[in-house]
Amino acid sequence: MLLHGVYVLLLAKVYTLGDLSQAYPIMRGISPLLVPIFAVLILNEHLKFIGWVGIVSIVFGILLIGGLKRKALNQTMVYAIAVGVMITGYTLVDKYALHYVSAITLNEFSNVGNLLVLSWVALRSGAIRKEWQVNWPTIILGGALAPAGYILFLKALELMPVSQLAPMREIGTVFGTIFGVFLLKEPQGKSRIIASIFITAGIIVLAP
């Protein structure tokens, strides 16, 4: 799946531009809103009114984490929007593909897409050996956890509508907030905890 590879490239670009607190809510807030809309329109899924309420609660919580102040569109935001669109795209495509292949097979196809898109960039940078020498434990851990986590998501996607599951996937934002507030002692703890409550409430509403 080339969409996965393009997603990773765009994500890396966002990280290099900085201001993650501005970009992250945009990246993670777009797909919980767009996926249900397109799932209803294209995949003929049905979502009750209370489900839409849950989605709005999740999106609001994500935006609240990043701050609700209006900001002028800049390069970081443009790339963040592109990342959100890619997440929407590959989530919908993966849901459709699961009608024909297993979760593990689909994950391997995604890995091939990543390989095709990212190999040229990685080799061109000439930093693979240095990166491995410095961060090899993190690379091994990430290499194990990332596909395992996505296979679990795909297995769940086999069992329930993507219009429900895609927004529920943002529970990771809640855990990240808890980690940042209580372990890293990051600022704006109160507002982020409130935002996490909105996200959690939305997920509970969406739960089948």
Handedness of CA 169, 170, 172, 175 (dihedral sign): negative
The CA distance from 10 to 118, in Å, is 11
User: Which helix (H) or strand (E) element contains residue 33?
Assistant: helix 20-42
pLDDT score of 187: 67
- Asked if residues 204 and 171 have their Cβ atoms less than 8 Å apart, the reply is no
* Mean pLDDT taken over the chain: 83
pLDDT score of 90: 92
The CA distance from 31 to 89, in Å, is 9
- pTM of this prediction? 0.81
Q: Is 136 exposed, middle or buried (0-12, 13-18, 19+ CB in 10 A)?
A: exposed
Q: Where are the domains of the chain?
A: 2-206
- Asked if residues 171 and 28 have their Cβ atoms less than 8 Å apart, the reply is no
DSSP letter at 170 equals: T
pLDDT band with cut points at 50, 70 and 90 for residue 155: very high
The CA distance from 11 to 163, in Å, is 23
pLDDT score of 80: 85
pLDDT higher than 70, residue 8: yes
Neighbours of 186 (CB within 10 A): 13
> Could you report the per-residue pLDDT of 96-149, keeping only the tens digit for each?
999 999 999 998 888 887 777 777 777 776 677 787 888 888 889 988 888 888
Angle among Cα 38, 44, 45 to the nearest 5 degrees reads 80
